[in-house]
Chain A
Amino acid sequence: MIEVKDIHKSFGDAHILKGISTSFEKGKTNLIIGQSGSGKTVFLKCLLGLFDFEKGSIAYEGKNFSDLSQDERTDLRSEMGMVFQGSALFDSMTIIENVMFPLRMFTKQSKSEMQDRADVVLNRVNLSDAHNKMPSEASGGMQKRVAIARAIVNNPKYLFCDEPNSGLDPKTAMVIDNLIQEITDEFNITTVINTHDMNSVMEIGEKILFLKDGLKEWEGTKETIFKTDNKAVTNFVYSSELFKKVRKMYIEEDD
């Protein structure tokens, strides 16, 4: 479980995060949504420890991240998996080398053991035949799946994803969403996803956090988001005619 209390973060005079408090439960898919510039990515990078924050605390299983020594932070980070918006695969390595990388760095496994584990996770993301390709030879969807495989290869406790569906067609986006949901359930990990994709919200949003102007505007689930009267949420989520109709049908069915 990750507990966040009153996080403040500024860049120069720009106050980006203005006191966000929330918690992300183990075994659940937690989604952070909000307009561009609402502070989602900064918030995610604070969670990962890539940005220091001025005020507040982030605790992983009760351990305050700010109180940890450099080595303790490093140990905690080895329990995290991250899927970056642009996949962030190492372009000098093949796909299987990318997936084996965390094992090479943090385990004492033999090469064949690492290879076997990488095979398992690559099969899990349906990429059993792409081992020796370079990242530049893979499509956007394949790169995202490799990034997911790399993130879960070392059995992380926490999985973070920054816009995992950006630049993907709707069908591939759905495959990625389902994969993340299945992995979260299968390995009982705490998953936090930054997204703009409303299909993801409707499909896998077990907990949804809506940010606006650096503040938590609304918090709920994919079920409660249909019923909320919060104007900022409805303006954002139901900006398309399609989702307006979905909402109307959902409310009518509920009545």
Chain B
Amino acid sequence: MTYLHNIGTYFIMVKDIFRKPTKWSVMKTLVLKDIDDLIIGSLGIVAFISFFVGGVVAIQTSLNIDNPLIPKYLVGFATRQSIVLEFAPTFISIIMAGKVGSYITSSIGTMRVTEQIDALEVMGINAINYLVFPKFIALSLYPFVISIAMFLGILGGLIACVYGGYGTFDNYIEGVQTDFIVFHMIYAFIKTMVFAFVLATIPSFYGYFMKGGALEVGKASTTSFVWTSVVIILLNFLLTSLLLG
């Protein structure tokens, strides 16, 4: 029953994000602040992880190919497919659920504990629109982060491959260009947009509806991370089945 209640409350919250919008002059400031916190602030960790994971994928692929009949360009091809189809959209989103999600839950949860949300409501402000809508808009730039993750992942693979002695530059680039299907990029960005919505709303839900004190803010952040990750994994399966299956 609790799960059903939470799911119902979540969808009511999603509807309220778009009800009675906050004045644009105020909203503009909030959106810019959230772009800085959620998007710009995540670029460093996303770049670091993508670059090195790309390198590891290239090395692992190379080390597991010992059949001389398999073409050398497969390393570049496999790295591109892994990064574009799964690593960048899905696993970066899981990392973002930890970084951005727990930030959203704890910042909104702290506002709940310190009665700042009550203060907004008493003033007649739609607190859900005021708090969640800027995050929703900021995270609509999430595909930009994922594009950088894709680029750096493939670049990391190239550098690891060439400088590690696992293949040549030309072979890797040939692999990256081989059998390139545009729909795979569309599929990756559809997933990215869906995950951006999940990243903006589920952590906000756990922050907004939390009860208790400082300890519960920490618990809400953990629960938010778990459920955001679960929903991302389930939606990943569903979207992959629908779009590629």
Q: Which residues of chain A have a CB within 8 Å of any CB of chain B?
A: 45, 48, 50, 70-71, 73-78, 80, 82, 84-86, 88-92, 101-102, 104-106, 160
Interface positions, chain B 115-132, Cβ under 8 Å from A, are: 115-116, 118-119, 121-126
In the bound complex, what is the Cα–Cα distance between A80 and B124 (angstroms)? 9
**Quick check: is B244 within 8 A (CB to CB) of the other chain?**
no
> When the two chains form their complex, are residues B118 and A50 in contact, meaning their CB atoms are under 8 A apart?
yes
A-B contact count (CB 8 A): 57
> When the two chains form their complex, are residues A71 and B118 in contact, meaning their CB atoms are under 8 A apart?
no
**Quick check: is B23 within 8 A (CB to CB) of the other chain?**
yes
Min C-beta distance of A107 to chain B, whole Å:
10
In the bound complex, what is the Cα–Cα distance between A75 and B125 (angstroms)? 10
> When the two chains form their complex, are residues B20 and A74 in contact, meaning their CB atoms are under 8 A apart?
yes
> When the two chains form their complex, are residues B122 and A102 in contact, meaning their CB atoms are under 8 A apart?
no
Provided the pairs A75-B124, A77-B124 are in contact, do residues A105 and B118 lie with their beta carbons within 8 angstroms?
no
> When the two chains form their complex, are residues A104 and B25 in contact, meaning their CB atoms are under 8 A apart?
yes
Taken residue by residue from 18 to 36, chain B's Cβ proximity to chain A (1 for < 8 Å, 0 otherwise) reads as: 0010110110000001000
Q: Which residues of chain B have a CB within 8 Å of any CB of chain A?
A: 20, 22-23, 25-26, 33, 114-116, 118-119, 121-126
In the bound complex, what is the Cα–Cα distance between A45 and B119 (angstroms)? 11
> What 19 new A-B contacts, CB under 8 Å, besides A74-B125, A82-B122, A82-B123?
A45-B118, A50-B118, A50-B122, A71-B20, A74-B126, A77-B122, A77-B123, A78-B123, A82-B119, A86-B115, A88-B114, A88-B115, A88-B116, A91-B114, A102-B123, A104-B26, A105-B23, A105-B26, A106-B123
In the bound complex, what is the Cα–Cα distance between A61 and B136 (angstroms)? 39
Min C-beta distance of A99 to chain B, whole Å:
13
> When the two chains form their complex, are residues B125 and A88 in contact, meaning their CB atoms are under 8 A apart?
no
> When the two chains form their complex, are residues A105 and B116 in contact, meaning their CB atoms are under 8 A apart?
no
Min C-beta distance of A60 to chain B, whole Å:
13
